[in-house]
Structure formats: C-alpha cells, structure tokens
Chains A and B, each alone.
Chain A
C-alpha cells in the first residue's frame, strides 16, 4: 500500500510538473493579446482558422523556384536565426539581431521615405501625401511632411502627424536616453535635426527642429552643419509611435514657436512603469506584422499579419499570415531546416554550413539565394602610434598576407576579397566596377613588402647601422631614436579568424624575412573592444582583428572625423584630414546628383585604399537556405533585406 502511494505520488508529481511547465511563466510575453489589440488578434486568427480554403490562392511562383503553379496556404513561415532571441523586442535598450528583425517587421511600415530594391531613397506614396522642402537662410533645410488620411496602427487607432512627432520627441528625450537608459535611442536620425543637442541633453524642453503643424502635417529641420546632405531625404524616414502605448494618457505634446515640447508631467519617474511594460509588450505598431507573443521556452516570436497595414511603397502587404522568428543553435541549424523545424535560414556565412546546405539543395526540397556581405572581416590598425602609424608598414602587412588564400580558406570558397569599405550590392560599386577592379590589391609579395618598408625608412639595425638583412628592422624617428618593427596585435579568444591570422601572417616565415615581428595577445572580446576604442597614444596595441559592416545611408564621416572618439584608426595629420574631407565631400553632394556622388565615393575609396587603415580579409557570400515550399523570396541583405522581402513571399 505504501509503495502504491509513493508510485501514485511520483506519477502525480511528474504530471503536475509538466503541466506547470506548459503554463506561460514569467518569461513568456503575450504581447499582442492585451488591451484593445486583443480584438484585432481575434479577428485575424478567426479569419485564418475559419476560412482557410478561401485564403488559398494560386499564383505563379517566381522563376527562381522553378516553373509551374503552386497552391499557397500562406499560413506560417518559421525563420531560423542564429542569434538568441531575448524577448526584448525594442532595440532602444540594445537587443540581439534576431530581436531586431522581429522589431523591424512590426515597427517599420509607415515611413514617408523608404529605400527601394536598389537602395535609392524614395517617397512612399502609400503614406506620403506631400513633401515640401525649403532651404532656410541660416543654411538649414526644412522638410514638411503631409501624410495621407486613414493610416492606422495595428489596434485600429488612427495615425496622425502627432504620432510621428511623438516618436521623434520621445526617443530623442533626455528622460528616455539617460534616465530610462535607452542608450540606443540616441542612435536615431534625430541627431541631424536642428536643436537636437539642447533637447536631448535636457538643456531645452523644446526640440527646435521639430514642428507639429496640424493633424496631417509635421516638419523637421536639418541642422545647417549637416547641409547639404546627399541622403537628405533619408533623414525624414521616421515612423510613428503610439503615445497610448508608451506614455500615460495625460502626457501631451504642445507646439510652440521654438519647436514641440512635452507637457510637464513627461518625467522618467512618471512614464517609467509604462515604458518598461511597452518595451516588451510592443503591441501597438504599424508594420506589416504585429507582435502576438514571445515564447521564452521556444525562443520564438510569433508575428501575425497586421490587418491595418496599408502596404509598402508598392502597395504590397504581407501574404503569409504568421511569421515565427525562432532561435536555432548554429551547431544544429542545418538539421533544423532538414527536419522542418524552420523553413528559412538566412545569411549563412560559414563554409561548412553552406556546403551542407548546397548538398540539401542538390538532394531536392530546398532552394537558396546568395549575395555578397555588406561588410568584411579585417585587420584594423591604430594609425597614430607604433609602427602602424606609418602607412608603409600597413602596406607591408597587407603584402605579407595572402588574402586570396585567406578568404578561400576561411569562407570555404564562399567569399571574396575586397580592397576597401564597399560591398557588391552598392550601386556605386556597379557604376565604378572597372575602377574598383583597378584598386591596389596588395597581392602577396615579400619583395613588395620589403620595398615598402625600405621606402618608409625601415632600413636600420637596432644600433643605427644599415639593416643587415636579418632580425628586426628599425626606423629612425624625428627625435633620433630608433623604433623596432614590432607590432602588438590584440585578438579575441576562440576566434577562428585569429587562428588563421596566426598561421598565415604571424608565423609566416616571410614576415621574419621582411624584418617584422608580430606579437599576439589574446583577451575576451569585450576587453578587446575597450582597447580598440582607445585612441590614445598610450594604447599598447596597434593591430586588431574583427569584422565590420556598413549600411544605407553610406555615411562614414563620423568614423574619420579627426579627434573624434569614433575615429578608431585615428589617422593623424594631413592624411587623416584629407580622408575625412573626402567623406564630407560624399555627404555634401547635392541630393539626386548620383554622378557626382559616385565620383566622390570612388575618390574616398581610392584614397582609403592608399592609406589602408584596415586590411580587408574576406567578404562572405551569404546564403539563404529555405524549403522549396517558400516562393517569391528575394533579398540582397543590404538594400532589400529579409524584412522587406518577406512581404512578397508565399508558402505552400
């Protein structure tokens, strides 16, 4: 009897345990099922379940997936992401790439200016009724935006000009950025607006460059210091935010002569609780999809079609009813696709994974896309201290590293070498293809490395005698002392790129033959970053390896501004100033003058290639692998990413 009781208790405990585990615990965020949004949710799911047959449409799939017709249920697609989802969907407090993808699907959609498939910034006719541009006497430029009637948030509430102005005022505010620690909020476009510094620092309670004109109209003024700006229209690519979601009802916006201001009750203490809730329950939004929930146990965001989304600039609304953004571990990602746990894996860059994916495609049942990465893995130099302050040394390092073999090895043949900060999807690269091909490739050559060093004055032994041909080279500095050609390299732990640099560069006998020595120090990635961002001449390291990417707008001025903390390479003197001036020349090309912009762009790339503040090592050919049931999915990862492409996709 006693044994039976124990057995019954154990079985009961197991069942209770599983039942308890099936409940939505504290980490599960049912974003869209609260408040007024719940009504919409009900409508959507009702349609999906109740009229499945009605939803099925027969369309011609894209040619890339084979001919013939297919029946699309368009019920659900599961997107696998290798960065872990955290449930923190809003990016203003820093989140992961997978969280950010989910955010973009629900938050982006009603911007008056958007970029098209070629990366050009264009007016969005779905949203924009009128855009007026005025050049002001003080050199600033005012964009007055009139939006169309009938725009709505996902919960059905109207979108007016006030919601656009609120988005700017809210995220640019001192209360949010500092008091509520939304550090990423300050990374917006707003810093180009007139009066941003005074408003965001709390010095002024009005935002001078932002005006709320009427229910349909608002204006933003770009600061004179930013004008002219080639990507000017992109600065108006702001979206609306729901006041009802983020702040208590009695917080209001007021238009004044000096710009818009919040009511006095807009304080961190007063809005804090609501903001804390809204950042996870981001359930009133304007994207093609809306957040239905986050399942922490499945590491999955559930996004359902927003019934109030009017479409993108081409009027395209989402075809697929539900998109799931799911975290998949890198080790098993291809197996997850193979077993149907996910329908799409995108931006696969690892050579082994790509090979496995291509094998799956060959076996049938899967398709893929491939496109170049808008970025590259690199060696980055500090150009204001140590041997790498001399460009001849940087050139020599480039000559001593067989970058073609490096890229081949690291990417498994699925990558290429670039010679500057550009990517194949950029229209400027296509315009200047021939000139880009003519850039100095720093082809592997010990002779070229030695010649570069000799040209740079690295022709001495330690005692000041002429270089003997063995051991480390020295250079005589202006103060009469001799600097050894010893480069201190800082790399992060468990880094396969670093391992390859060790064998292909540091331990390369030709490096010693050239009279150079490279010493490696391995630290955690975070520690590496603290040295990487240290531009002082006391920084003990001159060489780092990491990866970088660039976006659209392609604005690199902040990276090369002399004296700026963001100028990682810290190229000193005239060379640094000239490189910065070239980025400014790019930015200050008149809007729409693509010919002049492309010319300025190539001038910058060309001079960058000459100074070589970084040695690009590889630029991956990314692959998207997906089930053959998915059709009409085209992206390039740069101008037209997955978030934009998924609207057009259909799934059987």
Chain B
C-alpha cells in the first residue's frame, strides 16, 4: 500500500509539473504593464525561486514529498493561504452532505434491490428496472439542472445554490433548519443519481444468491421467507455488494465535483475543481493525494471486511 502511494505520488507530481505554462509567470503577469520591466523581472525571478522552478524535478519531488509527510500540503495560489488551512471547512461540509446522501441512498436501494430480486420480473420490478436504467444513464449534472428547474425555479421549494442564507442572523435550531433547507436539494440529487446503480447491483447479487442450493434447503427446512431472504440470501449477497458500499462510505470524504460545482457547495470536490481550473497546483495535487489515500484505505477496509462478512475468507481460521 505504501509502495502504491509513492508510485502514484510520483506519477501525479510529474503530471502536474508537466502541465504547460510557466507557473511563476502566471503568478506575476498581472503586474505586466503596471510596473517597470526591471521590477517585473524581479518579481518573476522571486516567484521562480519561491516555487523552486529552477530545481530539477527529482529534487522538487523530494522537497514536496518531505513537506507532504510533515503535513505541509503547500500553498494555495488561489486562496493565498496554506492548503492545510483552506481544506478543513470544505472537508467537514463534504462529509456532512455525503453522509446524508449515502445513508439515504443505502436505506432506499438495499430494500428496493432485495424486493426487486425477490419479486423479479413482476410489474413493480420491471418498472424499477426501467427507472433505474434511466437514472443510471443520465449524468448527475443533468439531474441536478432538471431538479433545480423543477424544485427551485418552478416550485420555489429550495434555494438554487449555496449552503446557507447569505447574512443569515439566526442561531441554533434556526441555523440548522436554514442549512438543511439549502442542502436538501443537492442531497436529493446525489441520492437520486446513485439509486440506479446500487439498486441494480443489489438486485443482481440477490438474484444470484437466491438461486443457490442452500436457499432451497432453507426453504425446505420451513424457515420463514424473511429469514431466508435476510439471514441467508442477503448475507451471501453482501459479499459482492460490500465493495460498493464501502466505496460509497469512503467517497464521503471525497465529495462530488459535479454536484458541489452545480450547487456551489463549499466542499472538497468544488475545491478540487477550483484548484484545477485556476492552475492552483498545490491545492489540486494535495486533494488528488487525499483521494489516493482514501482509495487505498478503502481497498484495505474492503479486503478486511470480506473476512467479517464471509468467514470462509478469514486467513487465520
């Protein structure tokens, strides 16, 4: 895992450092024409030195990685602050939004997927299949824009964007309600956008599980249908679904670039987008590495969880 982290970090660092353009020039070019050429040159050289652009790439990498391991994620040229000071609040916001969306989606998709599997090819199942394939096929930004048009512009139920009312003076419960009012629509969109995939996945896993001999045996033993489905079939179907569920929970920390951008949510995904659009390399690279770490931890937790869910894959038993 550590090896993968370093390999990814090297690849990402090289990619970001080979993006065309002169970062030092970008930082000072607003001065062009406003100051004398000598002063401009002085600022430019100072920027090059500050960014370490005159060092060879390996030395720059070692310096960057050394700082990264000490918690120094670099300096955001867009926000004019250390990256570590900038990403705290967006990370909290992202986690809050995604916890709601993830739990809501799981609460809907797992029972729905199971029900569709049990009642496969029924009218209800067929309807859900059509809807989920549509939902799965439509990009989340389309869903976002359609929902904004319907629920914000036409019906006026929710605000179009943002996380709270500007200049909101309330506190306590009032503030919570205001924030929930703002976050409701993005959470709904994120939930709806993820329903299709998960529902179909759970359904497929459950159909496979329900075909197994042990299900027939369980039913032959006269077990209640609920016990057969939830204790026997679902337990076994969970093994293939667990990867997806853990991935979802880990994505709580990653945010949704598209949804956060559409609804102007001050989250980590939006921050990543802003970093990329403004060539704020330290910011984008730091978030990219955060994604890398989350993915690696996610994989580790997934592997470990197999043992918990299925005793057959426990190594020491």
Q: Which residues of A contact B (CB under 8 A)?
A: 10, 13-15, 17-22, 25-28, 76, 78, 84, 86-88, 93-94, 177-178, 181, 183-184, 186-187, 191, 197, 200-201, 279, 295-300, 302, 322, 324, 326-329, 331-332, 335-336, 338-339, 341, 523-524, 526-527, 529-530, 533, 558-559, 564-566
A94 neighbours in B (Cβ, 8 Å): 27, 30, 80
B89's nearest neighbour on chain A, judged by CB, is: A25
Assess the A296–B166 pair: CB atoms within 8 A. Answer: no
Q: Which residue from A296, A302, A332, A566 sits with its C-beta under 8 Å from B167?
A: A302
Assess the A332–B160 pair: CB atoms within 8 A. Answer: yes
Given A22-B179, A336-B161, 7 extra CB contacts under 8 A: A21-B92, A186-B31, A191-B34, A298-B166, A299-B162, A565-B32, A566-B33
Q: How far is the CA of A84 from the CA of B278 in the complex (A)?
A: 11
Known: A339-B160, A558-B33. A530 touches B152 (CB 8 A): no
Known: A84-B274, A296-B89, A296-B266. A527 touches B166 (CB 8 A): no
Assess the B89–A27 pair: CB atoms within 8 A. Answer: yes
B175 neighbours in A (Cβ, 8 Å): 22
Q: List 14 A-B contacts (CB under 8 A).
A: A20-B92, A25-B92, A27-B86, A27-B90, A88-B80, A177-B43, A178-B46, A181-B50, A186-B35, A527-B21, A529-B25, A533-B32, A565-B37, A566-B33
Q: Is B223 an interface residue (CB 8 A)?
A: no
Q: Is B29 an interface residue (CB 8 A)?
A: yes
A91's nearest neighbour on chain B, judged by CB, is: B30
Assess the A339–B34 pair: CB atoms within 8 A. Answer: no
Assess the A191–B35 pair: CB atoms within 8 A. Answer: yes
Known: A15-B176, A183-B28, A186-B31. A328 touches B21 (CB 8 A): no
Q: Is B180 an interface residue (CB 8 A)?
A: yes
Q: How far is the CA of A177 from the CA of B31 in the complex (A)?
A: 11
B43's nearest neighbour on chain A, judged by CB, is: A183
Assess the B21–A26 pair: CB atoms within 8 A. Answer: no
B274 neighbours in A (Cβ, 8 Å): 84
Q: Which residue from B19, B50, B79, B264 sits with its C-beta under 8 Å from A86?
A: B79
Assess the B42–A178 pair: CB atoms within 8 A. Answer: yes
B99 neighbours in A (Cβ, 8 Å): 13-14, 17
Q: Is B156 an interface residue (CB 8 A)?
A: yes
Assess the B25–A530 pair: CB atoms within 8 A. Answer: yes
B23's nearest neighbour on chain A, judged by CB, is: A526
The 0/1 profile, CB within 8 Å of A marked 1, for residues 194-224 of chain B is 0000000000000000000000000000000
A529's nearest neighbour on chain B, judged by CB, is: B29
Q: Which residues of B contact A (CB under 8 A)?
A: 19-22, 25-37, 39-40, 42-43, 46, 50, 78-80, 85-86, 88-90, 92-93, 95-96, 99-100, 103, 145, 148-149, 152-153, 156, 159-168, 175-176, 178-180, 183, 261-262, 264, 266, 274, 279
Q: How far is the CA of A28 from the CA of B266 in the complex (A)?
A: 11
Q: How far is the CA of A325 from the CA of B261 in the complex (A)?
A: 19
Q: Which residue from A20, A184, A327 sits with its C-beta under 8 Å from B96?
A: A20
Assess the A524–B19 pair: CB atoms within 8 A. Answer: yes
Q: How far is the CA of A26 from the CA of B92 in the complex (A)?
A: 10
B93 neighbours in A (Cβ, 8 Å): 21, 297
B40 neighbours in A (Cβ, 8 Å): 565
CB distance from B142 to the nearest CB of A (A): 12
B50 neighbours in A (Cβ, 8 Å): 181
A558 neighbours in B (Cβ, 8 Å): 33-34
B27 neighbours in A (Cβ, 8 Å): 94, 183
A332 neighbours in B (Cβ, 8 Å): 148, 160-161, 262
Q: How far is the CA of A25 from the CA of B89 in the complex (A)?
A: 5
A564 neighbours in B (Cβ, 8 Å): 37
Q: How far is the CA of A527 from the CA of B27 in the complex (A)?
A: 12
Q: Which residue from B96, B160, B166 sits with its C-beta under 8 Å from A295?
A: B166
A93 neighbours in B (Cβ, 8 Å): 80
B279 neighbours in A (Cβ, 8 Å): 524, 526
A94's nearest neighbour on chain B, judged by CB, is: B30
A28 neighbours in B (Cβ, 8 Å): 89
Known: A87-B79, A178-B42, A187-B35. A339 touches B156 (CB 8 A): yes
B28 neighbours in A (Cβ, 8 Å): 183
Assess the B161–A524 pair: CB atoms within 8 A. Answer: no
A78 neighbours in B (Cβ, 8 Å): 166
A333's nearest neighbour on chain B, judged by CB, is: B160
Known: A529-B26, A530-B25. A335 touches B264 (CB 8 A): no
A304's nearest neighbour on chain B, judged by CB, is: B167
Q: How far is the CA of A28 from the CA of B86 in the complex (A)?
A: 10
CB distance from B18 to the nearest CB of A (A): 12
CB distance from B136 to the nearest CB of A (A): 24
B160 neighbours in A (Cβ, 8 Å): 332, 335-336, 339, 341
Assess the A18–B176 pair: CB atoms within 8 A. Answer: yes
Assess the A339–B153 pair: CB atoms within 8 A. Answer: yes
Assess the A324–B25 pair: CB atoms within 8 A. Answer: no
B265's nearest neighbour on chain A, judged by CB, is: A297
Known: A22-B164, A22-B175, A27-B90. A327 touches B264 (CB 8 A): yes
Q: How far is the CA of A324 from the CA of B36 in the complex (A)?
A: 37
Q: Which residue from A87, A298, A327, A530 sits with its C-beta under 8 Å from B22?
A: A530
Q: How far is the CA of A529 from the CA of B26 in the complex (A)?
A: 8
Q: Which residue from A21, A327, A526 sits with its C-beta under 8 Å from B21?
A: A526
The 7 closest A-B pairs by CB, nearest first: A25-B89, A187-B34, A566-B33, A300-B166, A297-B163, A527-B21, A526-B21
A297 neighbours in B (Cβ, 8 Å): 89, 93, 162-164, 266
CB distance from B88 to the nearest CB of A (A): 5
Assess the B166–A523 pair: CB atoms within 8 A. Answer: no
Q: How far is the CA of A324 from the CA of B167 in the complex (A)?
A: 8
B156's nearest neighbour on chain A, judged by CB, is: A339
Assess the A197–B148 pair: CB atoms within 8 A. Answer: no
Q: How far is the CA of A652 from the CA of B59 in the complex (A)?
A: 62
B46's nearest neighbour on chain A, judged by CB, is: A178
Assess the B20–A18 pair: CB atoms within 8 A. Answer: no
CB distance from B141 to the nearest CB of A (A): 9
B178 neighbours in A (Cβ, 8 Å): 22
Q: How far is the CA of A495 from the CA of B101 in the complex (A)?
A: 35
Known: A22-B175, A86-B79, A335-B148. A183 touches B31 (CB 8 A): yes
Q: How far is the CA of A526 from the CA of B21 in the complex (A)?
A: 6
Assess the B20–A524 pair: CB atoms within 8 A. Answer: yes
Assess the B39–A200 pair: CB atoms within 8 A. Answer: yes
A88 neighbours in B (Cβ, 8 Å): 79-80
Of the listed residues A10, A19, A76, the one surrounded by the most CB atoms of chain B closer than 10 A to its CB is A19
A526 neighbours in B (Cβ, 8 Å): 21-22, 25-26, 279
CB distance from A207 to the nearest CB of B (A): 15
Q: How far is the CA of A191 from the CA of B31 in the complex (A)?
A: 13
Q: How far is the CA of A327 from the CA of B166 in the complex (A)?
A: 10
Q: How far is the CA of A324 from the CA of B50 in the complex (A)?
A: 36
CB distance from A535 to the nearest CB of B (A): 11
Q: How far is the CA of A386 from the CA of B258 in the complex (A)?
A: 43
Of the listed residues B27, B43, B162, B164, the one surrounded by the most CB atoms of chain A closer than 10 A to its CB is B162
CB distance from B294 to the nearest CB of A (A): 18
CB distance from A306 to the nearest CB of B (A): 17
Assess the B34–A22 pair: CB atoms within 8 A. Answer: no
Assess the B35–A17 pair: CB atoms within 8 A. Answer: no
A298 neighbours in B (Cβ, 8 Å): 162-166, 168
Assess the B152–A339 pair: CB atoms within 8 A. Answer: yes
B29 neighbours in A (Cβ, 8 Å): 529-530, 533
A296 neighbours in B (Cβ, 8 Å): 89, 266
A334's nearest neighbour on chain B, judged by CB, is: B153
Q: How far is the CA of A338 from the CA of B152 in the complex (A)?
A: 10
Assess the B37–A295 pair: CB atoms within 8 A. Answer: no
A14 neighbours in B (Cβ, 8 Å): 99-100, 103
Assess the A527–B79 pair: CB atoms within 8 A. Answer: no
A200 neighbours in B (Cβ, 8 Å): 39
CB distance from B201 to the nearest CB of A (A): 23
B177's nearest neighbour on chain A, judged by CB, is: A18
Assess the A187–B166 pair: CB atoms within 8 A. Answer: no
A341 neighbours in B (Cβ, 8 Å): 159-162
